[in-house]
Each structure stands twice: as structure tokens, then as C-alpha cells.
Structure 1
Amino acid sequence: MTQVSALYQSRSEAGQIRPDPAQQAVLPEFDRIAQGLMAPPVKRGLFRKATREEVKGLYLWGGVGRGKSMLMDLFVDSLDGIPARRVHFHAFMQEIHAKMHEARQSGVQDTLAPVAKEVAESVRLLAFDEMQITDITDAMIVGRLFESLFEAGVTVVTTSNRVPDDLYKNGLNRQLFLPFIDLIKEKMQVWEMVSPVDYRQDRLKGSPVYFSPVNADSRAQLRAIWEDLSGGDAQPLTLEVKGREVVLPGFRNGVARASFYDLCGKMLGPGDYLAIAEEVKVLVLEDIPRLSRSNFNEAKRFVTLIDALYEAQVRLICTAAAEPEYLYVEGDGAFEFERTASRLREMQDKDWGQDG
């Protein structure tokens, strides 16, 4: 097994990583966890079964684009032979709810217990990307779930944009959630990564983010940006919003990819777009068509989507049939679209969204 610090150093020397003091400062924490996971089981007493020492995890938080997910990927890649899983936190919780539903169908009383046992038996390390809790159903089970995982010897490493005390902030019945925050502080080293550089924005700086018209060349440019930002290893992400499913066909490290039809051709509303804006830091949106009375409903949804992205400071990268001012030139809503066109133009600025 290669130490994360050594892997970071070699990739820095190869020009694959730009050395960053904030990133380098947390590397010993990853090395500590790896060393603990590699330690052999300890036998305490003649007739006792050998058990593994508990390894304290890591809660790595800080602003977007600071390299938290990159470091976690590097860490997981270095864990040779250790059963580990790297998964987006939201997707993991969806799996937990689905498995609890299956257990409920089979008549199990405590549906969480067998699900937690199954997870614990499959991994020694869980690496979560972007821990955030906004859903009450997640908030009500996450404490018991993690308590079971920790008791079974599972180590957890997670990234987040929020300090633990801000998780599920202002949520319904939040007092019931507070013991989970205490559990995080007990079982995980809380580390704030402070860096002046937003690498995600930095990679886009100076690059166009609005490509028009839609043709082979603009699609190729968009695809190249997507490959660069996602690392070529994206998975679909399903968001549950008031019982509905909103699917982002591609998602990795806060960067999502979808077509205009995926988000505006379906019966989605403001709540759905707010959920997307909450989850996504960069949206790669393909094939925005010309808008008119013939696709009036899609146009209205697009306006709502842009409003949600704009307010949440989500970076938009897209291909479109025309420049913003010429996307919607006739039909009901053309006048109101002027504000959307102005926002689309503002969102192209190289410094836009850096405070988000």
C-alpha cells in the first residue's frame, strides 16, 4: 500500500496535482487512517476472538472546489486490499431507504438493523462525498445507522461543505438529530480545509462556458469540459423531492450533466429545481433549443431552472441553439425572458459564482 502523502507527492511531481498547503496539511490524517486499517487484529485474552482496533475517521469540510473530493479519491485508490466503498452520500442514503423498504416488505420489525449489518459486513471503510442532510427521513435514521456501523468497526471518511454543527440546520425536529452531530465529533476527526484557491472555478477560468450554436464542435468542447471536471467516472444521481424522482444522468463531485429535455421536457417544478441547485455546484446542460409558443411549457421550466441556479450561484456550462438574447424572440413570455437572458449572460463571466 502506498501512503497517500507519497502518492500526492508523486502526482505533484508529475504535474497531475498542483501542490496546495491546505491539501498537504491534511495528508497525515489520511495516512493515519490507512495505517490503522492495515493493522492486524488484536487478541485480548486466551479465549477471546481477535478483533480490530477502532480507527477514528475523518470529517473533511470547507468551501467548494478546494480539492476535498480529489484527496478522498486519492485515499481510496491507495487502500490496496482493504474493503472500501466510495459513494455520494445522497445516493448512499437512497440505497439505505430502498433496502429498508425491502426489509419491511418481508415483515422485519426493525428494518434498519439488517440493512446496517449488511453494509458493515461488506466494507471496512466508507468514503462519502458531500455529506449534507436536508431530508427529515434521512435525519431520523442516520444516527442509529452510523452508530451501528461504528460499533461494527466501520471507519467513515466524508467530505462536506458544512461544519458538523450546521448539518440539518433549521430542520424539522432537529433536536432529535443533535446526538448524531455528537457522534460525528466522537468518531471522526473534524478538519476544516481552508484554501484561497477554488480549483473547480480555476479550471474554468478563461474558458468559454456557453457554446452556440449546437453542432459537432460545440458538443465536443462541452464533452471535453465534462470529462475534465468529472474525471470520466460519473454515475446517475436520483433526487427524491416530495415523493417524485428527479434524475441527473451524470454526476460526480458536485458536477452534474443533463440535457435540456431531462430537466425542462419533463413535469418538474420550482421545488425540483431548488433541490438540483442545492445538490449541484456545476451543471453541464446540453442542447438548449430555441424557445417559442411551440414549447412554451418547456420555456417556463427553463426560466425557473435558471432562476434556481442563479440564486444558488451554480456554475452553468451549456450548448444552446442561439446566444441568450436570441433564444426566445417570439411568443408569450418573450418579454419576460429578457431577465433570463441577462442572467445567462452574467453567468458566463469568468468570476461569476466564486462567492457561492
Structure 2
Amino acid sequence: MRRRVRQKAAESMREAFFAVVVGSNLKLDVAQRETMTSMALNVGNGFYLWGDPGRGKTALSSLYFNAIPTASKRRFHFYEVFAAIDHLIASTRGTVDDALDELLAGSTAVMFDEFHVHDVADAIYLTATLRRIVRDGTLFIATSNYPPQQLLPNPLMHYRFQQAIDLIEREFSVIWIGEGDDYRRCAAAPRHGFSSGTWSPTESEQIAGMLPERIDMNGQSVEVLHNAIAAAVTFAELCERPLGTREYLALTERFREITLRDVPDLAHADREPLRRLGSLVDICCDRDVVLHIVSWGTPRDILRAQPSPPDAARTFSRLSMLRPTVNSTHLDVET
């Protein structure tokens, strides 16, 4: 019954989706228009939209999601799913299934932005989540930089997610957004929130007026400079220590502007600190928190790091949204 209701809702909102896209004044290239048509024609269980960073996957999927005629829907950035499941298991001493009961309760549609899998623990959570979504007939929308078969790419671990990959390819429409420009790197877009941040070799004057304090972030003590709305933290303190998404979520809940100080040449940084930097950038971007990077290097340096950190292309794409300051016009940010 629920599946039929959900399918009817998907069919009835097709014109609404086109109207929302037109009303958004979003300028689409040929590949994006073809993708929009594929999304609009979907009346099945949902879709998995993948492609290169900056191709407009989140923008199109968000418009589709907003056009679904129901209030019983939830949108997650991918890091939020893992954090929420961990929190629910810890706070209730329950199982993954118990956590999913709470997380997905009453949802007829869910959207997962930036779908990716790099470790077995995430694979276990996601397999259970996808099975629950299919079992309940929930409309599923996901964006990813990876085709399904490239999820959990480690050849020693890939088999642990193969059942979930098979489920994605069997139950949902897999749509490739096509080749084209990385629109995050187009300077014409208005700058606000995350994209109003800067990449600079020198610190701003406002840091001089900040007060030092060791603050608690999800049980971890972190040394920061801060005022009421902004914080400045060193790369060593935030990315070289074993912190993760929970700590970065706590930081962005408290501060709306973050300066990451003393960032090294990313080409020569270790893989784990670069992975944490990617998580921090993802969270700041998704929450539209202003991010300033203080470094004599360039955003593109992360593409030269060996071994390459996970999702380096996406991190570079998002770092390219930051504005080079007057003193850093030599930086290769947008090329």
C-alpha cells in the first residue's frame, strides 16, 4: 500500500519538478537537462545520481526533493547518517535496527547527499539502511561522485558492500549526470556563506582580537581562538589529531565562521590529516559555514598528495569556491 502511495506521489509531482527547476533560474547544460528529464521520468523506487564534483547533482536533487508533495521526508548529508546512528545506538544502548526505526520513522522519502563508502563500519550501517528503505517502500534519492560499483573501492573490502551495490542497481534508477564544467569553480556565482570564505597566505586582523580557550567538542578538548561567532584553529589541532565528524559537527554548531590556520602544503601532508580536512570542508560547505584557509600552498595541491586521500577531487572542488585574497593572487585556485 505504502509503495503504491509513494509511486502515485512520484508521478503526480513531475510537472511540479519542472516548474521548480524553471523557477530556480538554474542554467543547465545539455547533460544536466538530460539528467533532469531522467529524474522527472522516474516513478520507481528512486534514483542514485552520480558524476564528477561540481556538476550540479545536489542542486538538481534538492529541487526534485523539494517538489515531492509530502512533509514526511528527510534530507541527510552523508556524514549526518553515520553520526546519528552512532548517537542513537550509544544513547539507547540499542541495535542498528533500533536506530533506523528512530532515524527513518514516518519518512516516505529520504535524500542522501554525497553518498560514499570508504570503510567497513560505514558499509555495515549503509547496507542495513538501504535494506530498511527498500523494505518500507521509501522513495530514495542519493547523490554521489562514484558509480555504485566503485563504492568501497578497496579490493580487500569491496565484497563487504557488494550486496548493497546489487540492491542499489536493482531497486533504484542509476543516473549519470554526464561530463561538463565544475560549476563550483565558476567565479560568477554570488558569494555568501561557505563560498564567501577565503584562501590566504596571511591571517585576517580579526584573529588578533580573539580569546584563547580550550573548548569541548563532543568530549574532545580542542584549543581555539574565538569570539562570539567565529573561531580560529590550527591545522595540527583540528586535522592532525584523531578527530572526526562528530567533533566538526560540534564546532560548526557553535561557530558560523572558522579559520583554519597554519595549513601546510597539501601535496606533502599525510593521508589521514587530509581525509579529516575533507570531512571538515564537507561539513562547513553543507552547513554553509564560512571557512577561511591560511596557507602558502594552493587548493590544487591536494590532488598531488601521495597517497591520495579519499574524495580528493571533491575537496579540491569545494576549496576552489574560496576566494583568493589580494595578497594571494598568485595562487592557482581556479585553474
State the TM-score, normalizing by the size of structure 1.
Answer: 0.60
User: Do residues 194 (structure 1) and 178 (structure 2) align?
Assistant: yes
In the aligned structure 2, how far is the partner of 1:24 from the partner of 1:78? 17
In the aligned structure 2, how far is the partner of 1:198 from the partner of 1:132? 19
| Partner of residue 231, structure 1 | none
| Partner of residue 26, structure 1 | 35
RMSD: 4.1
Alpha-carbon distance change, 183 to 94 in structure 1, aligned in 2, over 3 angstroms: same
Alpha-carbon distance change, 157 to 138 in structure 1, aligned in 2, over 3 angstroms: same
Aligned residues of 1:93 and 1:138 also touching (Cα < 8 A)? yes
Residue 130 of structure 1 is aligned with which of 105, 114, 129?
114
Residue 140 of structure 1 is aligned with which of 124, 139, 153?
124
In the aligned structure 1, how far is the partner of 2:37 from the partner of 2:132? 27
In the aligned structure 2, how far is the partner of 1:275 from the partner of 1:305? 15
Alpha-carbon distance change, 82 to 32 in structure 1, aligned in 2, over 3 angstroms: farther
In the aligned structure 2, how far is the partner of 1:182 from the partner of 1:188? 10
Pairwise CA distance, 1:280: 4.3
In the aligned structure 1, how far is the partner of 2:300 from the partner of 2:145? 23
User: Do residues 80 (structure 1) and 89 (structure 2) align?
Assistant: no
| Partner of residue 293, structure 1 | none
Residue 292 of structure 2 is aligned with which of 270, 275, 286?
286
Counterpart residue identity of residue 332, structure 2: M
Q: What's the secondary structure of 1:121's corresponding residue?
A: coil
- Deviation per CA, 1:259-318: give whole Å up to 9, x if none: 125989xxx986233332377479864273xxxxxxxxxx8xx87999547643513526
Query: Which piece of structure 1 moves more, 279-288 or 141-150?
Result: 279-288
Counterpart residue identity of residue 17, structure 1: L
Alpha-carbon distance change, 305 to 150 in structure 1, aligned in 2, over 3 angstroms: same
Pairwise CA distance, 1:246: 4.7
User: Do residues 69 (structure 1) and 58 (structure 2) align?
Assistant: yes
Alpha-carbon distance change, 137 to 27 in structure 1, aligned in 2, over 3 angstroms: same
Residue 95 of structure 1 is aligned with which of 84, 99, 109?
84
In the aligned structure 1, how far is the partner of 2:132 from the partner of 2:151? 20
In the aligned structure 2, how far is the partner of 1:213 from the partner of 1:114? 47
Pairwise CA distance, 1:203: 3.4
In the aligned structure 1, how far is the partner of 2:36 from the partner of 2:109? 17
Alpha-carbon distance change, 10 to 182 in structure 1, aligned in 2, over 3 angstroms: same
| Partner of residue 212, structure 2 | none
| Partner of residue 214, structure 1 | 204
Instruction: Please show how residues 40-59 of structure 1 align to structure 2 within 5 Å.
Output: 55-59=44-48
| Partner of residue 152, structure 1 | 136
- Deviation per CA, 1:25-47: give whole Å up to 9, x if none: 222443345xx5xxxxxxxxxxx
| Partner of residue 274, structure 2 | 273
In the aligned structure 2, how far is the partner of 1:20 from the partner of 1:306? 25
In the aligned structure 1, how far is the partner of 2:162 from the partner of 2:130? 13
Pairwise CA distance, 1:183: 0.6
Alpha-carbon distance change, 156 to 28 in structure 1, aligned in 2, over 3 angstroms: same
In the aligned structure 2, how far is the partner of 1:287 from the partner of 1:25? 37
| Partner of residue 166, structure 2 | 182
In the aligned structure 1, how far is the partner of 2:263 from the partner of 2:36? 39
| Partner of residue 258, structure 1 | 258
Aligned residues of 1:132 and 1:162 also touching (Cα < 8 A)? yes
In the aligned structure 1, how far is the partner of 2:32 from the partner of 2:61? 11
Structure with greater Cα Rg:
1
**Whose relative contact order is higher, 1 or 2, with alpha carbons under 8 Å and at least 6 apart?**
2
Pairwise CA distance, 1:112: 1.5
Q: What's the secondary structure of 2:85's corresponding residue?
A: helix
Query: What is the number of equivalent residue pairs in this alignment?
Result: 260
In the aligned structure 1, how far is the partner of 2:278 from the partner of 2:303? 5
Residue 327 of structure 2 is aligned with which of 306, 312, 323?
323
Identity of aligned residues (%): 22
Q: What's the secondary structure of 2:28's corresponding residue?
A: coil
Structure 1 alignment gaps of length 5 or more: 37-54, 217-237, 289-298, 325-343, 352-356
Structure 2 alignment gaps of length 5 or more: 1-12, 207-237, 306-311
